[in-house]
Amino acid sequence: MTRPFVHPYIPNTAPESRAAMLAAVGATSVDEFYVDVPADLRLDRPLDLPEPLTAELDLERHVGGLLSRNVSTRTRLSFLGAGTYHHHVPAVVDEIINRSEFLTAYAGEPYEDHGRFQALFEYQSLMAELLAMDVVNVPTYDGYQATATGLAMAGRMTGRRRVLVASDVLPAKASKVHDFVRGHLDLEIVPTIGGTADAAAVASLLADDVAAVWVETPSATGAVEARLRELADAAHAVGAVLVVGTDPIGYGVLVPPAEHGADIVCGDIQSLGLHQWFGGAHGGFIAVHDDPRFIMEMPSRLFGLATTDVPGEYGFGDVAYDRTSFAHREEGKEWVGTAAALWGIAAGVYLTLMGPEGMRELGEVLLARTEYARRALAAIPGVELGDDALHLREFTVDLGGTGRTAGDVVRDLRLVGIEPGVPLDERTLLVCVTEMTSQRDIDRLAESLAAAVGASPAASDLAGADVPAASDPAPTLEEQSA
């Protein structure tokens, strides 16, 4: 076509504008602007890319068509967790973070971006209440990074290299943390007992060359650490820092780690109002006490409340900006860059909506359904629980007694539309339940799993009731996706 290329995203492709601007700057063509790019580096052909779909409807049809090939967890009954969780996202959360004002803002100053500063200050503050700590950062990338940074902070503070890993850690998280800190820290795995820390073994390994004890609760298998205070005291006794990786979802009912003596608490906020997004929507928090020794080691931005010329008015700004790589390049702490601010706003809206009572109710539902699911699955002949720790949301079952592997079971249950969990090894399946997996969903998993391992269903014995049909009004997933 001889028609000029005009694109809706690029206003000055309009031929008249382009000509006027070239004339204004005294150039005959845009090539003049590239004089510093040597000729032999200039690409002498168009990029070899697919034909564009410049009409919006064609683009929608193409990309929407690709996405429509996916089958989501609205259709599949999913018990998958392992770092990305299927929690309910209230509609108000999406409404707020999809506002153009928040979605497309970036790095403005406290005056014109007052709303962003306040919203993120509020996020910090809401998380702080949940965690019972006084300082929370503007989100970093994800829980992996938060934990890696938390450990690195401990290393910088103590000048030591050893880190005792007291809990079971997700392999991918362990990989990230290891590669991130290995220039400065050495990780030593202390095997767990019954799903939680072997406090005695940790104590025996502690010495004044230990920078940190790293505990995960809930752990990679969903086990809640019961001996945190003991671990904290032991670490503190040798001048080490207790770093706790956690998911904040349970702290409506559980005592937060700070109250057991944790120094640095870190983790992921995906559970707090973010969709699963194929694992692509994570944000990391790092919380510490209001102690400059810790705060000055934090690389992230920290938004703080400040007074203004108007009495009673709240202003905002960066706390201790001089810590950051923006201020001091390699002399700053790690670096700060575009991370996950919008997800922080989402988590703030989520916590505001939930309130204390919502977080309590949610914690109760998660504990109750986790326990219900554990019993339902353990009731299947040949299926054993991985351990008898307290579990929140996730737990493992050992399929060794069924004669079938975890992979077999996953394959079979996928045929009936169920993702039963994540195989950790041949015989171990990691199962996740949330408020999105109802009792009837769990019963369905138990029945299907029993069928897959050749056992007779036993789940209906659970409640001591004869009638398998429940009376709760929520529809089953089948109804939903019919």
Site for its own copies in 391-450 (CB under 8 A): 435-436
Considering only residues 371 to 410 of the shown chain, the ones binding another protein according to CB under 8 A are: 371-372, 375, 390
Shortest separation between residue 77's beta carbon and another protein, angstroms: 11
Instruction: Look up residue 267 and give its DSSP letter.
Output: E
* Interface pick for its own copies out of 64, 292, 312, 464 (rule CB under 8 A): 64
Q: Select from its own copies, another protein, none the partner in contact with residue 156, using the beta carbon and a kind-dependent cut-off of 5 to 8 Å.
A: none
Considering only residues 85 to 104 of the shown chain, the ones binding its own copies according to CB under 8 A are: 88, 90-91, 95, 100
Give the three-state DSSP class for 113: coil
Q: Is the CB of residue 218 less than 8 Å from the CB of residue 392?
A: yes
- Give Cα separations from 406 to 374, 403, 425, 426 (angstroms): 16, 10, 7, 5
Assess 316 for contact with another protein (CB under 8 A): yes
Q: Is the CB of residue 449 less than 8 Å from the CB of residue 380?
A: yes
Considering only residues 82 to 111 of the shown chain, the ones binding another protein according to CB under 8 A are: 82-84, 86, 88, 90-92, 94-111
Of the pair 102, 189, the CB lying nearest another protein is at: 102
Shortest separation between residue 87's beta carbon and its own copies, angstroms: 9
- Tell whether omega for the bond before 191 is within 30 degrees of 0, i.e. cis: no
What's the chain's Rg over C-alpha atoms? 26
Rounded-to-integer distance, Cα 193 and Cα 474, Å: 39
Considering only residues 149 to 178 of the shown chain, the ones binding another protein according to CB under 8 A are: 152, 171-173, 175-176, 178
Q: Select from its own copies, another protein, none the partner in contact with residue 292, using the beta carbon and a kind-dependent cut-off of 5 to 8 Å.
A: another protein
* Interface pick for its own copies out of 31, 32, 58, 461 (rule CB under 8 A): 58
Give the three-state DSSP class for 395: strand
Q: Is the CB of residue 299 less than 8 Å from the CB of residue 334?
A: yes
Of the pair 361, 408, the CB lying nearest its own copies is at: 361
Instruction: Look up residue 50 and give its DSSP letter.
Output: P
Angle formed by the axes of helices 439-452 and 406-415, nearest 10°: 120
* Interface pick for another protein out of 141, 214, 285, 395 (rule CB under 8 A): 141
* Interface pick for its own copies out of 36, 51, 109, 313 (rule CB under 8 A): 51
448 C-beta neighbours (distance < 10 Å), count: 20
Of the pair 274, 298, the CB lying nearest its own copies is at: 274
